[in-house]
Amino acid sequence: MITQEQVRKELYNEFIKPTNQKKDFIGVEIEIPILNLDKKAVDFDVVHEVTSKFQRHYKDFENDGIDYDGNVFSLKNPKNEDIVCYDCSYNNIEFAMGREKNLFTINERFTDYYSFVKESFEEYNHTLTGMGINPYRKYNNHLSIPSERYLMLYHHLKSAENYENIPMHFHEYPEYGMFSSASQVQIDVYKDNLVRTINVFSKIEPIKALLFSNSVLVDENKHRTCFRDALWEYSTHGVNPHNIGMYNVDFKDIGDLQAYLESLNIYCVMRDGSYINFESMNLLDYFSKDHVIGEVYDKGVYRKVEIKPEISDIEYLRPFKFINLTFRGTVEFRSVCTQPISDSMSVAAFHVGLKDKLDELEELITNDTVIYHKGYTATELRKLLIKDDIPAFINMDELCKLSKDVVDISKQGLQERGIGEEIFLKPLYERIKCRTNPGKNMIIKLNDDTSLETMIEEYGKISRI
């Protein structure tokens, strides 16, 4: 049997030890929905043709993932580590930019790739747009990419009926990974600042909801500006609430953080190159077992298989927190929806600017009485602020000032970097001024009979700085 001490040591090596290096890189990943403007399912043959065209044009990109049908679903440039791939299904494209030290370099390459891909899709009356939920999802075929990882993931999300006697309900969208899109940022954080970074950034999640929400479930729920939160929380990823959302605790030190990692659930491992799914269970419970019964995909069907836990299985621990630790020694911020394309770099700029301003940010939030000290946790506040109406106990003028104060701190941090990246915060100031965000703006315009097609076009436009 694997001991708790062995698990603790392996967790440290996987997630904490990499933060001992002092680095200062930024990683940006932007997922973007693909739409068929004929209001039919996305044509996967078109997707594969666009992929081939991209590779012919950008000759440095090499095949990085080929599905069981022989189609390329991931391309990688080994020179700069940029990846252009499809996420979960061929309805969703992702631009994962290789790490850089300034946002202008990232933005230049992203803009180039996005423009080429969008123009290529439009030759077939398809397009891309900057929304956190595909507004044409109801027309699409929600089929997983036939690859080892994505088949495993979808199988896990469809397994809700296997869980009994747990205090939660599951939503009806196990395919949500095929129609929801995020804008994620990875930032190098040194070990000495790791705990404090998580503590402080966790407390501004409600403000981030106010600034960045952009996932409206068109035709089904036009009252939540960020429906993505519920898609994660009420799925099999949320069987253990510690695996998703916010931390809801203040960590005292690295020991506290490690204890939290031990509280997470694991639901898959690999053996002989194949993923094996099993019922989501606590990490320590998993390692205490002599064997676990799981399921493996084999020639179109799933069959039962028995595995023996191995300490190296920690490599497959996959929490989806709003703030995640990665094996790269980075902190990954995952709670933000894909933004209107012209505002794409605002997400990374916001986080990069605040990274080294923890003193100012912590003082602001600690002394805040606009949303805090009113009986609500940060998680509860975020849930309130992803609705189209702000609760009566919150003064809107004061909330806008608080939001501006946070963005001002980010701006100061960017100005101190001396590169000029603060220009990417401009959309956030405009949202604060207009008391809106992309999700709320979409709800208002749709209620005012602006066509969905107009919104799709507007949110898909690129801007060049």
Model confidence pLDDT, tens digit, residues 394-409:
999 999 999 999 999 9
Question: 377 Cβ partners below 8 Å, 6+ apart?
Answer: 248
* Rounded Cα gap, residues 121 and 48, in angstroms: 11
Structural domain includes residue 33: yes
Structural domain includes residue 187: yes
Residue 214: pLDDT band (50, 70, 90) is: very high
Structural domain includes residue 303: yes
* Rounded Cα gap, residues 136 and 181, in angstroms: 13
Q: What is the CATH number of the domain that holds 305?
A: 3.30.590.20
How confident is the prediction for the chain on average, in pLDDT?
96
Question: 230 Cβ partners below 8 Å, 6+ apart?
Answer: 171, 224
The answer to whether 57 and 69 are in contact (CB under 8 A) is no
The runs of H, that is alpha helices, within 204-282 are: 205-212, 228-233, 254-262
Tell me the residue range of the domain where 45 lies.
Answer: 4-460
Look at the alpha carbons of 359, 360, 363, 368 in this order and tell me if their dihedral is positive or negative. Answer: negative
Structural domain includes residue 340: yes
* Rounded Cα gap, residues 162 and 164, in angstroms: 6
Q: Report the pLDDT value the prediction gives residue 465, as an integer from 0 to 100.
A: 65
The amino acid that residue 398 corresponds to is E
Over residues 1-38, the pLDDT tens digits come to: 899 999 999 999 999 999 998 889 999 999 999 999 99
Structural domain includes residue 317: yes
Say how many Å lie between the first and final Cα of the chain, rounded.
57
Query: Would you say how long the chain is, in residues?
Result: 465
Question: 73 Cβ partners below 8 Å, 6+ apart?
Answer: 51, 65, 66, 67, 85, 86, 90, 145, 147
Map tokens 């993923």 to a residue.
Answer: 275
Structural domain includes residue 465: no
Structural domain includes residue 270: yes
* Rounded Cα gap, residues 308 and 339, in angstroms: 43
What mean pLDDT do residues 163-187 have?
A: 95
Burial class (CB in 10 A: 0-12, 13-18, 19+), 372: middle
Number of domains composing the chain: 1
* Rounded Cα gap, residues 183 and 337, in angstroms: 6
Map tokens 């799709």 to a residue.
Answer: 456
Structural domain includes residue 328: yes
Q: Report the pLDDT value the prediction gives residue 125, as an integer from 0 to 100.
A: 98
Lowest average pLDDT, out of 31-35, 244-248, 460-464, goes to 460-464
Could you tell me the pTM of the whole model? Answer: 0.96
Over residues 103-124, the pLDDT tens digits come to: 999 999 999 999 999 999 999 9
